[in-house]
Structure 1
Amino acid sequence: MYFQHSDEIWSAHPGLVAGVLAATGITADAAVEPLVEEFSARAKARLAAGTEADLPEIQAWRRTFSAMGLKPTRYRCASESLLRRFRKEGALPRIHPLVDLCNAVSLAYAIPVAALDVARISGDLEVRHATGDEEYRTLAGEPEHPEPGEVTFVDAAGHAHARRWTNRQSGHSAVRDTTRTVLIVVEALHASAATDVPDLLAALSDALGDVWPATVRTTMVSRSAPCFDFQPPVVP
């Protein structure tokens, strides 16, 4: 099983910086609150000077969404949506320890962090333009079909694991209590992304190691080295 972006995505978005993390050994009974509070405090400090719309990470995704024909104040990247809710409500709802941790890291870095249950991915996974035949499931389980040309995550069975690239994840591969192995994808387009994405991956990897006895692997992907093998490792 491998993850990659299509060559067309790299051509259309040459400034894309992407990192990937695979972890096995995740459970739903972990305590992540101290880490969530630590990362949330970093986000709060950044937002003290303005709103999420002022952050270069968010501005880069807004420009990208506009270039794809999407109204950026209607369709927001996931990190902007999280930051917006966090700014208005002061906290995010708790969902699952891993999701809560990924959300907090996304807040701190203002970068979308997608966590997918590997057991719910069929074969290889590619970020590519949709044909319109792929099937997406909302968090409520309702079926949708991405628009032709829309950027999505597609597996070998035709499941779309995202809508509008970093706008919404699929309920089909959402992390749940039975999740043990996850694939986490981090993508950014702002000027300092080449430094920030590796920093985010390292911080998240360290956090996972602090919370779970997990096997964690990370890598950066690029047009010249686009593939990441996320076959679950054999755990004795």
Structure 2
Amino acid sequence: MRFQHSPALWRDFPALVPGVLLAHGLTPAVSVDAPVARYGAAAAERLAAAPESQFPEVQAWRRAFATLGLKPTQYRCASESLLRRFRKEGSLPRIHPLIDLCNAVSVAYGIPVGVFDLSRIGGDLEVRYADGDEAYETFSGGLERPDAGEVVFADTERRAHARRWTNRQSGHSAVRDTTTDVLIITEALHDTAPQDVRKLVSSLADELRTVWSVEPTTAVLTQEAPAFTC
């Protein structure tokens, strides 16, 4: 399988910094309480100094969404949505150990982190502008067609695994208790994204080694080297 962003997306968003982790052999029978608490404390410290709307990571995504014709307060990037909920409620819902961990890392860094069940992706996966005929499955099992020009995560079978860039992940490839192999994708656009994404990827890889005793494959992609093969 090959993961990449389309040349058109790199052209329009040259500041993009994607990070990728591939991990095999995961199970839900682990505890992530300690790292979730640690990353949550880091997020709470940042939010005590300023709301998420002032984070440079979030502001960069708001500008990108505005460029795409989306209202930034109507369609929030995944990390902003999580930070907003965390600020209001003081915690995030617990879903699955891997999702809980990735959500905690996301709020700590202010950067979106998406997790995909590798077995549910048909062929290659590309982040690109939608043609409008891709199939997107909601978490309730409904079927949607992304708007033409919308940024989607689309596989070779023309299934959209996320809509509106980082905003809405598909129920089809969401992590579940039977998931063992995952592709984790993080993306940032702010000025210090090259350093921050590398730190996030390294931190998350360390957590996967510690919690699951697995050795993830990682990469930070660039416009010159935009593809990750697994």
* Whole-angstrom CA distance in 2 between matches of 1:128 and 1:225: 16
Aligned to 2:159: 159
Q: Is the 8 A contact 1:23 1:215 kept in 2?
A: yes
Pick which of 101-110 and 209-218 moved more: 209-218
Query: Are 2:110 and 1:75 equivalent residues in the alignment?
Result: no
Length-normalised TM-score, structure 1: 0.96
Partner residue, 2:89: 89
Paired position in structure 2 for 1:2: 2
Q: Which amino acid aligns with 2:35?
A: L
TM-score, reference length from structure 2: 0.99
Q: Equivalent residue for 1:170?
A: 170
Aligned equivalent of 2:54: 54
- Post-superposition Cα deviations, 1:186-218, rounded to whole Å, max 9, x if no partner, equal 100001001000000000000010100223100
Kindly provide the amino acid, as one letter, of the partner of residue 63 in structure 1: R
Distance 1:145 1:83 in 2: 28
Secondary structure in 2 matching 1:218:
strand
Greater Cα shift, 172-181 or 208-217 = 208-217
Aligned with 1:206: secondary structure?
Answer: helix
Kept in 2: contact 1:36–1:100 (CA 8 A): yes
What is the distance in 2 between the residues matched to 1:215 and 1:49? 36
1:196 aligns with 2:196: yes
* Correspondences of 1:20-169 after superposition (within 5 Å): 20-169=20-169
Contact 1:136 1:160 in 2 (8 A): yes
Q: Structure 2 CA distance, aligned partners of 1:140 and 1:222?
A: 35
The Cα of 1:36 is off from its aligned counterpart by 0.3
CA distance in structure 2 between the aligned counterparts of 1:40 and 1:115, rounded to whole angstroms: 19
Gaps of 5+ in 2: none
2:106 maps to amino acid: S
How many pairs are equivalent? 230
The residue number in structure 2 matching 1:233 is none
Runs of 4+ displaced beyond 2 Å? none
- Whole-angstrom distance in 1 between the partners of 2:200 and 2:90: 22
Q: Structure 1: which 5+ residue stretches go unaligned?
A: 231-236
Letter in 1 for 2:155: D
For 2:153 and 2:41, locate their aligned partners in 1 and report how far apart those are by CA, in whole Å: 31
1:212 matched to 2:212? The reply is: yes
Whole-angstrom CA distance in 1 between matches of 2:139 and 2:84: 20
Instruction: Report how far residue 50 of structure 1 moved.
Output: 2.0
Q: Which residue of 1 aligns with 2:226?
A: 226
Query: C-alpha offsets along residues 32-74 of structure 1, whole Å, 9 cap, x if unaligned?
Result: 0100000000000000012110100000000000010000000
Tell me which moved more, 78-87 or 206-215: 206-215
